[in-house]
Amino acid sequence: MTTVIKAENLGKKYIIRHKQDPYDKFADVLVKPFKYAGQKLAQPFTKEFVSFISAKEEFWALKDVSFEIKQGDRVGIIGRNGAGKSTLLKLISRITEPTTGKISIKGRVSSLLEVGTGFHPELTGRENIYLNGAILGMSRKEIKRKFDEIVAFAEVDKFLDTPVKRYSSGMYVRLAFAVAAHLEPEILIVDEVLAVGDTAFQKKCLGKMQDVGQEGRTVLFVSHNTDAVKKLCSQGILIVCGEKFFDGDVSKALDLYTEQMYNTMKDKIELSQYGITINGITLNDGKVILPFEPLVINIEIISSRLFENLAFDLTISNDDYNGFIFYTSTILHKNVKVKIKPGKNNFRCVIPKNSLCSDYYFLGFRIAEPVKGILFFEKRFLRFEVANSYYRDTNLQTLPQNGRIYMNHYWEV
């Protein structure tokens, strides 16, 4: 198999400015030499030029990453938010240039870093298909040939001559993805585009992506949806803090990734501006969690101040859905106000009989205050498993395998 992408010691450095205004001001540039001269006059012996413009800090979004991708490989790029996945894709798709290293590419690359890029709201659906196709690298002939297919895929044939600003957001996204899905490059780079539209459409998108993979094209895929990555990819590259952590079999990469997530989330979290430390959240005191059994969520918080009126939210979610499987808040309950006293505080949320089926889930946690708003929010604070080793529910012969929650019910048959 030929190597189609070869990255050697790839690095990308960004300069972060600790300043409100992210743009350079022309005036600063004009004034700089005078300021420098002024400084020299005032302190003729300082050698270093202290930057007047802003405090700068170097940040390596990607550091010393090397890998090879062979033709026809379907590679999932995995990592937490801010790990450097998107930066890597941007380098490969030539949007920005690397600070160090070298990338060699063979074949036409198309990148879908966001569907609908270049869509113009004033233009009609038809016009946008042509424009967007051209932006993504299709020739006019190619677009013409695939036009009907694109329209059928997007299900917008009635609205082809309506400006897309009048489209519903669902239609807009469908059309945008449809154009992108009909690209035929040798190397396809996809970043999180599956998180669009309704579930039915997402399925359709995933199917389309699988087709692309089976046609022997090379696919680089970034997603937080681990199921989608597992379905679509054969190889995984795990990136941690800008460095390549693992490169190889996709399920191994995903296992390492989830393990990491679990480990890092257990750390204490300091909210220094409020004087609060979330010391830890434990489920069932670390013991196994079973379906239909109690689930006790214990929250330990250390505070340096007194808070009279806070609200806690808890959520349960997993990778399959965008929303939450379960949500609760102290606000939902009358007269429940969370008070935090200086020192150690313990809070409990008790679910006497949890309805979760056995699988992995995320616990989310949020602290809010009426005036300051949200003090803390982490959708994936903790990853936990609901085990399926045994069950004690009286009426069930076997545990439900499909579905995520189980509701108390009976059949009349």
Partner 1 sequence: MSNEFDLVIQAGKTERHYWFDIWRYRELFLFLTWKEFLVRYKQAVVGIAWSVLQPVLTMIIMAFIFGRVAQLPSGGIPYSILVFTALLPWQFFANSLTQGSMSLVSNKDMVSKIYFPRIIIPVSNVMVGAVDFLISCVLLALLMLFHHFVPSIRILILPLFVLMAFAITVGTTLFISALNVRYRDFRYIVPFMVQLGLYVSPVAYSIDVIPQKWKLLYSLNPMVGVIDGFRWSVLGGKFELYWQGLLISIVLTIIIFFIALKYFRATERTFADKI
Its sign, for the CA torsion 207, 208, 209, 214, is positive
Q: Which stretch binds partner 1 (CB under 8 A): 20-28, 48-56, 257-265, 401-409?
A: 20-28
Cβ 3 to partner 1, closest distance in Å? 6
**Using the rule CB under 8 A, is 380 a contact of partner 1?**
no
CB 256 within 8 A of CB 119: no
Specify the residue, 109 or 232, whose C-beta has the smaller distance to partner 1: 109
List binders of partner 1 among 81-110 (CB under 8 A).
Answer: 90-91, 93-107, 109
Select the residue interacting with partner 1 from 62, 63, 77, 111 (CB under 8 A): 111
Q: Which DSSP helix (H) or strand (E) runs through 14? A: strand 3-17
Contact call for residue 275 and partner 1 (CB under 8 A): no
User: Contact between 139 and partner 1 (CB under 8 A)?
Assistant: yes
Considering only 3-11, 195-203, 210-218, 243-251, which stretch makes contact with partner 1 by CB under 8 A?
3-11
Q: Order of strands across the sheet with 187-191?
A: 109-112, 187-191, 218-222, 74-78, 235-240, 243-249
Least separation in angstroms between CB 215 and partner 1: 20
- By the 8 A CB rule, do 353 and 294 touch? yes
Q: Do the Cβ atoms of 185 and 137 come closer than 8 Å?
A: yes
147 binds partner 1 (CB under 8 A): no
Which class for 263: exposed (0-12), middle (13-18), buried (19 or more C-beta within 10 A)? Answer: exposed
| x-or-dash string of contact with partner 1, 44-83, rule CB under 8 A | ----------------------------------------
Asked if 239 and 84 count as a contact pair (C-beta separation under 8 A), the reply is yes
Q: Which of 148, 149, 159, 155 is nearest to 125 (CA)?
A: 159
- Is 113 a binder of partner 1 (CB under 8 A)? yes
User: In this chain, which of 26, 34, 45, 390 binds partner 1, going by CB under 8 A?
Assistant: 26
From residue 159 to residue 198, what is the string marking binding to partner 1 with x (rule CB under 8 A)?
Answer: ----x-----------------------------------
Rank residues 16 and 152 by Cβ distance to partner 1 and give the closer one: 16
Distance (Å, whole) CA 111 – CA 114: 8
Following DSSP, what letter does each residue of 334-383 receive, concatenated? TT--EEE-SEEEEEEEEESS--BPSEEEEEEEEEEETTTEEEEEEEEEEE
- 261 near partner 1 (CB under 8 A): no
Q: How many residues bind partner 1 (CB under 8 A)?
A: 47
Cβ distance to partner 1 smaller for residue 26 or 410: 26
Candidates 42, 55, 81, 122: give the one binding partner 1 (CB under 8 A).
Answer: 122
Which 8-state DSSP code applies to residue 25?
P
Closest to partner 1 by CB, 223 vs 226, is 223
Cα angle: 148, vertex 201, 381; to 5 degrees:
150
397 binds partner 1 (CB under 8 A): no
Residues 132 and 92: beta-carbon distance below 8 Å: no
Which residue in 16, 135, 152, 332 binds partner 1 (CB under 8 A)?
135
- CB of residue 218 to partner 1, shortest distance in Å: 13
CA–CA distance, 372 with 307 (Å, rounded to integer)? 12
Candidate residues 83, 136, 194, 212; the one interacting with partner 1 per rule CB under 8 A: 136
Task: Kindly tell me which of 27 and 200 has the beta carbon lying closer to partner 1.
Answer: 27
218 binds partner 1 (CB under 8 A): no
Could you tell me if 277 and 382 are in contact, meaning their C-beta atoms sit under 8 angstroms apart?
Answer: no
CB of 58 to partner 1, least distance (A): 13
Whichever of 109 and 181 has its CB closer to partner 1, that residue is: 109
Residue 55 · residue 18 · CB < 8 Å: yes
> Is 281 a residue that touches partner 1 (CB under 8 A)?
no
Which of 29, 405 has the CB closer to partner 1?
A: 29
Residues 111 and 342: their CA atoms lie apart, in Å, by 52
Residue 58: its H or E element: strand 56-70
Burial 29-60 (b: 16+ CB within 10 A, else e): eeeeeeeeeeeeeeeeeeeeeeeeebeeeeeb
Closest approach of partner 1 to the CB of residue 211, in Å:
23
Residues lying near partner 1 in the complex (CB under 8 A) are found at 2-3, 6, 11, 14, 23-27, 29, 90-91, 93-107, 109, 111, 113-114, 117-118, 120, 122-123, 127, 130-131, 134-137, 139-140, 163
